[in-house]
Amino acid sequence: MRLVPILLLASTLTVGASEKRLTPLVRAVQIARDSVVNIHSEKSPRRAGEAAFSGSRDRKVSGMGTGIVVDERGYIVTNHHVVKDVDSLEVTLGDGTRYQARVLSVDRSHDLAIIKIDPRQDLKVMPLGTSSDLMLAESVFAVGNAFGYEHTVTSGIVSALGRDVEVNETQSYYNLIQTDASINPGNSGGPLLNLDGHVIGINVAIRAGAQRIGFAIPIDDARKTVAELMSVERLFGVTAGFATRDIKKGESRRVVVSSVSAKDSSGLQFGDQVVRVDGRAIVDGVDIARAFYGRRVGESVNVQIVRAGRPMTVPVRMARHTRQIAQTQTTARPVSMPRESDQTSTRAWRTLGLRLIALNSSQVSHIAPRYRGGMQVTGVRPGSPAASKGIQNGDYLVGLHIWETLGEKDLAYILADEQLRQHNPLTFYIVRRGKTMFGQLAL
């Protein structure tokens, strides 16, 4: 009879010990783990850059990496270098289920790619964080396929922000997160997470010969690229007739309409905040893309917005997306372009040190096809922030901080933003001779 209270006491002690062991890191891993996948690849020796010897025709070179589920229907983001030139891809989920995967779209310059599997049931999407409010020494952890050891968890801190890293002559990274969480071969494409279990970066590189120096692409930067890679225009040839920009500052995250097609009669306007699309909550451009997947030409989709503080619902009709074919140009200088307003031009010259003029659609397709638009630099003020960073006449400005610079309206919006000074230094994105370059302007 005396055994009963002793057994109950032992049970109570075990439960108490388990609760103490559920640290914030353990809880965060439990939240995020099922959204991480392990990637195994095979490629031929010739495609892997190895010499091909007689008798080696059937030999394959194995590779490994990590991916993050960004849509429950089997869409996964990873690094481009993980899937480059592969002959086959296999994805392993957290429960051990294996699927063959295919590459859908890639961005070589930003080293990101979208791959697709066809799961038998919905996948768990990685909880989204933001890199806009990261703090030095903040606790972070990485989950990945380190050296082929699937779902390896390592922890550390944010060691530095805004690192620029040149890997080789063809691949450079900008504005990276540096961390001392152990990142090893196989971690590429996997998440760097905070203690809420939310992804705040995509692991991309390590410092050769060093210990505990790893780098990750900030998730806010990565999601802008992912939104382009997952756009319905790119993947399915349909369009909702409008474009958006993400605005993220800590817990404040919203999506606003940045442009509307001239052919679109949906009633959306520049500056509308998109809240939901057909009931799906919208946090950034990736959610916009996901919300329009599977929509057919002519189908009407309800878009919930906030305009001037008033909530409203606007129906948007899907249309067929047609890409304009670029005409051959004999000169890099734009012709027959609309002039900027004096106010915007003066402020850009005074604040940034730039004179800018918008590109037309055919020029965008020819000069910077992966962007929706841009502005050509036609003047640089000596001694200005732009001059100090080496921006030159003929460069194409395609973005400032979290905003695209599609034209005069975008530039005016950015320069008039009351929080502009809080983004000091201001990250800029330019295209020069077909290559995207990044830097920071000290305002």
Catalytic residues, which ones? 81, 111, 188
Of 300, 177, 156, nearest in space to 238 by CA: 300
DSSP letter string over 88-118?
Answer: EEEEE-TTS-EEEEEEEEEETTTTEEEEE--
- CA neighbours within 13 Å on the CB side: how many for 196? 10
- If we measure between CA atoms, which residue out of 115, 50, 46 comes closest to residue 78? 115
| Six token digits for residue 398 | 């395609």
Rounded to whole angstroms, the Cα distance separating 352 from 422 reads: 15
The conformation of residue 33, written as its DSSP 8-state character, comes to G
Phi first, then psi: what are they for 363, rounded to 5°? -70, -40
| 241, two tokens | 């007739």
Phi, psi of 30 (to 5 degrees): -65, -35
Cα–Cα distance, 36 to 189 (Å, whole number): 10
Q: In residues, how long is the chain? A: 443
State residue 283 phi and psi, 5-degree precision.
-110, -40
Find, among 111, 204, 192, the residue nearest to 157 by Cα. 192
